[in-house]
Structure 1
Amino acid sequence: MTITRLLARPMLATIFVAGGINAIRNTEAHAVKAKKVADRMVPLAQRAVPGAPIPTDTQTLVRINAGAQILAAAALATGRAPRLSATVLAASLVPTTLAGHPFWEESDPQAKAAQRLQFMKNTSILGGLLLAGVDTDGRPGLAWRARRAAADVRREARQVAKDARREAKLAKAQLT
Structure 2
Amino acid sequence: MDVVVLIGRIFFSALFLASAVGHLTQSKAMAQYAAAKRVPMAEMSVLGSGVLLVVGALSVLLGVWADLGCLLLLAFLVPTALIMHDFWAQTDPQAKQMEMVNFNKNISLAGACLMLFAFFAHNHDLGLTLTGPLFSLS
Please state which band the TM-score falls in when normalised by the shorter chain. Answer: 0.7 to 0.9
Stretches (4+) displaced over 2 A: 1-4, 32-39, 95-100, 136-144
Please, what TM-score do these two structures have when normalized by structure 2? 0.79
Q: Which runs of 5+ in 1 are unaligned?
A: 40-56, 145-176
Residue identity opposite 1:114 in structure 2: M
Residue identity opposite 1:142 in structure 2: S
Aligned equivalent of 2:115: 131
- Please, which of 69, 75, 80 is the counterpart of residue 59 of structure 2? 75
Residues 72, 86 of structure 1: 8 Å contact kept? yes
Aligned equivalent of 1:18: 18
Residues 118, 137 of structure 2: 8 Å contact kept? no
Classify the secondary structure of the residue corresponding to 2:124: coil
Q: 1:21 to 1:99 in 2, by over 3 A?
A: farther
Give the number of equivalent residue pairs.
Answer: 127
Q: 1:143 to 1:89 in 2, by over 3 A?
A: closer
Residues 16, 69 of structure 1: 8 Å contact kept? yes
Residue 110 of structure 1: how far off its partner (Å): 1.9
Residue 99 of structure 1: how far off its partner (Å): 3.4
| Separation in 1, partners of 2:84, 2:34 | 7
Classify the secondary structure of the residue corresponding to 1:38: coil
Residue 37 of structure 1: how far off its partner (Å): 5.4
User: Aligned residues: percent identity?
Assistant: 27
Larger Rg: 1
| Separation in 1, partners of 2:26, 2:63 | 29
> Deviations for 1:112-166, whole angstroms, at most 9, x for unmatched residues?
112101110111111111111121363397343xxxxxxxxxxxxxxxxxxxxxx
> Deviations for 1:84-122, whole angstroms, at most 9, x for unmatched residues?
011001101122223332212221112211210111011
Q: Which runs of 5+ in 2 are unaligned?
A: 126-134
Aligned equivalent of 2:75: 91
| Separation in 1, partners of 2:137, 2:71 | 17
| Separation in 1, partners of 2:38, 2:71 | 20
Please, what TM-score do these two structures have when normalized by structure 1? 0.64
Classify the secondary structure of the residue corresponding to 2:43: helix
Structure ranking higher in helix proportion: 1
Aligned equivalent of 1:62: 46
Residues 60, 66 of structure 2: 8 Å contact kept? yes
Q: 1:26 to 1:143 in 2, by over 3 A?
A: closer
Aligned equivalent of 2:39: 38
> Deviations for 1:14-37, whole angstroms, at most 9, x for unmatched residues?
111111111122212322333345
Q: 1:81 to 1:104 in 2, by over 3 A?
A: same
Residues 12, 125 of structure 1: 8 Å contact kept? no
